[in-house]
Structure 1
């Protein structure tokens, strides 16, 4: 059986690309790190690194091994956390994945309710947008897109639709309108509110393309909080999900879009773990809250 500590040393060398830097991070000597790597190579029968000049370069076998080892080490760290919970008298842990607007709107009342019902529960929240995943969530509140549809080990539970709205400076002519169409926004300077690689941004681009135009982005912000700040400064307009526009800064007006882009929200529920009452209860609260937004400030016990 492979030694998790040895795998952890191997992971550190892969991340830093240097035995010396891995040793510094792990507070070990370079000699000890090299011994762990040599032992791992003997145990696996794999050549993991090639020497190039005074440095090392991982082999294809090392790249393949680290892809599997990272998942194993995540699970091992979760086991360590679980043992610590048991030692401290805490009887359960639930990992909830979220994206920012869900984290500030859907989850606070749910976490308040669930920790009241299960006082020994430890709730871990992890941001699970593109490139940010470091822990495997038990339930992941997410946008429905191809990557989620094909995510192995999870089942998908539909939650709700989240239409996009227009956010505009209060002195902008569109601020006086009760509703606009996407085509009305064709000549405006836009502020992006999401990474161009994220599904939410692609939803907006696809909706505009269907109307025959591509938005002209004058500012490329990476999150909706920053984007709304630029709108408040009069820099441009932004089109963002209604869930992300519940709290807006002074000087910004929300305007309904009659033909809006729409994102579908889902709960991705991990099937590999033990089914338990806590996860079932969180899923029930998510479904109820999504269908009845007025309850977001207070979820009534069932």
Structure 2
């Protein structure tokens, strides 16, 4: 600001002192913005235009107000105390709507945001004033942050106290819910994974089951018929093929002909022989 530039403050904090926002500005430049303080609006009575807009006119000659003859807004806009800032636009009742203040080679402009809402830009010379504020060769900074919360910066401290407490309560509720739903892990040692049985264990278990069942010939015959069907399917032979032909063709499948011949022999009657035959058949089935 000391070397030039323009700061446009749109509806700053009521009661804010400019030197608190910009270092180097004298305390005499302090001013207070009244809009939209209802208590302050009671004491002013600006004239209204036919479309219920409040109108203001320039009171000084400056490049910012070039080609600006009148502006309007849908609600009152004025300062309760302009301080050492120079009034640049007033309402018809004499209240100040826009002020200018110098800081070194730069200037500070303070005015109401009501002039630049969508409903106001098409009114009178509001759009021209907005273009003038953003024009020129010097740097222009628009300060639209201070909205009456009496806090500066972009942190959560800028919110009202009630909002801050509400957000804190919501955060605590979310954390509590997440903690309640989180899975609990005990400190006990993890159980070793269950490994699949090996081929030998599977065959032994099947043989033991047949032995405990009394060496059922029916169970062994079912296993043998299933083995015979699998062999015929792998050899691409029909149901007419004999066991001798299956044994002769089994080397093409990588099987031992002697083991195939033994597995396809007639079912024995003794229990121990049944268990051994079931063991042979099961081994061949797993090799297919």
Q: Shorter chain as normaliser: what TM range? A: under 0.3
Where is the strand percentage greater, Structure 1 or Structure 2?
Answer: 1
TM (normalized to structure 1)?
A: 0.21
TM (normalized to structure 2)?
A: 0.22
Larger Rg: 2
